[in-house]
Amino acid sequence: MSVTIRVANAPVNFGIYQPDSAPFTAPELLAALADAGYAGVDSGPIGYLGTGDTLRARLAETGLHLAGGWVDLRFTDEDGWREDLAGLDAALDVFTAAEVDDPRFAPRPTLSLPADPVRFARPGLALGGIEDWPGFARRLQETADRCRERGLEAVYHHHLGTLVESEAEVDRVLDSTDVSLCLDTGHLYLAGGEPTAALRRWAPRVKQVHVKDGSRALTERSREAGLDFDQLVAEGGFTVLGEGDLAPADTVAVLREIGYTGWVVVEQDAPATGRAPASLLADQRTNREVLRKADL
């Protein structure tokens, strides 16, 4: 039977947000993830895994494939967005340099907005919103089309602390563009959504899935204590799979039900400092085993 879902991991799980600040070298991380049973990896910050021939060689050595990578652009600001396109093009150069053994698993440019100060301070409450929605939608559409011109299908990632958090806001993105979606179970859930119902409803548009677990009770306590998104992450707002409110087996069952084909990327956002590298790696081994038990 043809494999329709592959499981990847991501540098964000190790608190890697800058290419020159990481608890593991890129070869060390790739080898560890391959040993843990992952088939792919998200790029993390562009340049961390290498570029061009270096990236191809490192992936080939471990048998991993590139699942995609995060690129945020200032879609709500015309001048800022135009400036950010250079960063997008640099990321697309990295993604198109990676070997692809099956077009169903080509890297997905993962588009999002940068953090919004108000929402970042009170994640999950969807305070305020995008004022110029037509401008936002036009810029997002043009960005997705720019990716398609390079042979890659971009996905939009809703995210706590940005101006697209809630299910209603994701609905509006899908209604006003033809951009594909990266559904992140943890971010949607902590913004008040129901990930399995959303997977069914948005199935035709879902081209990548980030599997996270989280705790609404911890998120609410963190907000009451005045903690922002980064502090929520440091408090453990995103848990090992199966230790929060979400059941990974339910997510996997719905993915099978809707006939999803593509990457499932395990994400358990970690703080940039304060966690022992060995414990971070142990969590990702556990996450892979949890998904194996869920038949993925």
pLDDT tens profile 151-203: 999 999 999 999 999 999 999 999 999 999 999 999 999 999 999 999 999 99
Whether the per-residue pLDDT at 73 is higher than 70: the answer is yes
The predicted pLDDT at position 58 comes to 98
Phi, psi of 254 (to 5 degrees): -70, -40
How far, rounded to the nearest angstrom, does the alpha carbon of residue 216 sit from its chain's CA centroid? Answer: 19
Residue 2: the pLDDT is 63
Query: Taking Cα atoms as reference points, which of 128, 205, 145 lies closest to residue 170?
Result: 205
- List Cα–Cα distances, 208 to 93, 109, 186, in angstroms: 20, 10, 14
pLDDT band, residue 21 (cuts 50/70/90): confident
Q: For 207-215, what is the mean pLDDT?
A: 97
If you average pLDDT over residues 270-278, what whole number do you get? 91
Evaluate whether 263 touches 208 at the Cβ level (below 8 Å). Answer: yes
Q: Is the pLDDT of residue 1 over 80?
A: no
The separation between the first and the last C-alpha atoms of the chain, rounded to the nearest angstrom, is 14
The DSSP output letter for 114 is P
